[in-house]
Structure 1
């Protein structure tokens, strides 16, 4: 199982915002699009950072609502963003995400940003595959009697 399988199901258009996007606007976008994270990019190809729900909570705790809303996503985003490739094995991506405590990981190919995957999507895909394997095994094993 590779990352490409998830992108085929959900689509390849990640939600991006520019660094100067106000935090309040980013929150609205996340709510409207049901997104747990936004990729920060000037051009839609290169990754400048990532702002997640957890980044927003941390910033809210540090700055308070009044000071947070006019800030920009560049002020609170994670700049050290790991990425994966579409042909990468889901187990490897899951291990890397777990080690970094990351819930989201951008996907890049030779042309740049081409998607984003979440830990939940990876777990769902692996669980579905395990259920398929279990069903196949149950059907393949002869029952005595």
Structure 2
């Protein structure tokens, strides 16, 4: 199972954001794309942040309470982004999910360019496929 790699199971067309995007638009993208978060990209397609449902919920509660004006993604995104590489092992990424408690990682190449995302569900699917294949051979 160690030969399973992120690039075989990652989402190549995930929801992404720009740092200047209004949070309301980002929320719409999350809801429409049925994703728990996404990478914030600069114009060169490098990851500069990460926006999660949790970040959006916190901001929306604050905005509704204080009746604040439009917030931008850059105001609430996390900038300490944990990413994975396309050649990383699915098992290693599964361990990271267990240890770090995140739901989704951006996938970047060695130069930091965004390639896609890998979620807990993607990893679970990869492991399930491998186990089912093993049962068929046994």
TM over 0.5: yes
Question: What's the TM-score once normalised by structure 1's chain length?
Answer: 0.81
| 1:48 alignment partner, SS class | strand
Q: Deviations over 1:59-100 (max 9, x none)?
A: 334x14343x71111111121111111111011112123222
Structure 1 unaligned spans of 5+: 138-145
Cα pair distance change 1:14/1:99, threshold 3 Å: same
- Indicate if the aligned counterparts of 2:85 and 2:110 stay in contact, CA closer than 8 A: no
Q: How does 1:1-145 map to 2 (within 5 A)?
A: 1-7=4-10, 10=11, 12-61=12-61, 63-65=62-64, 66-67=67-68, 70-111=70-111, 112-137=113-138
Match of 1:140 in 2: none
Deviation at 1:117, TM superposition (A): 0.7
Question: Take 2:43 and 2:134, find their aligned partners in 1: how far apart are those partners?
Answer: 42
Instruction: Determine which structure has greater relative contact order: mean sequence separation of CA pairs < 8 Å that are 6+ residues apart, divided by chain length.
Output: 2
| 2:106 alignment partner, SS class | strand
Bigger fraction of residues in helix: 1
Moved more, 99-108 or 35-44: 35-44
Question: Take 2:75 and 2:38, find their aligned partners in 1: how far apart are those partners?
Answer: 14
Deviation at 1:23, TM superposition (A): 0.7
Question: Take 1:107 and 1:54, find their aligned partners in 2: how far apart are those partners?
Answer: 20
- Indicate if the aligned counterparts of 2:38 and 2:106 stay in contact, CA closer than 8 A: no
The count of residues paired between Structure 1 and Structure 2 equals 132
Question: What's the TM-score once normalised by structure 2's chain length?
Answer: 0.84
Q: Deviations over 1:3-40 (max 9, x none)?
A: 01113xx4x23332111111101011122222221211
- Indicate if the aligned counterparts of 1:16 and 1:44 stay in contact, CA closer than 8 A: no
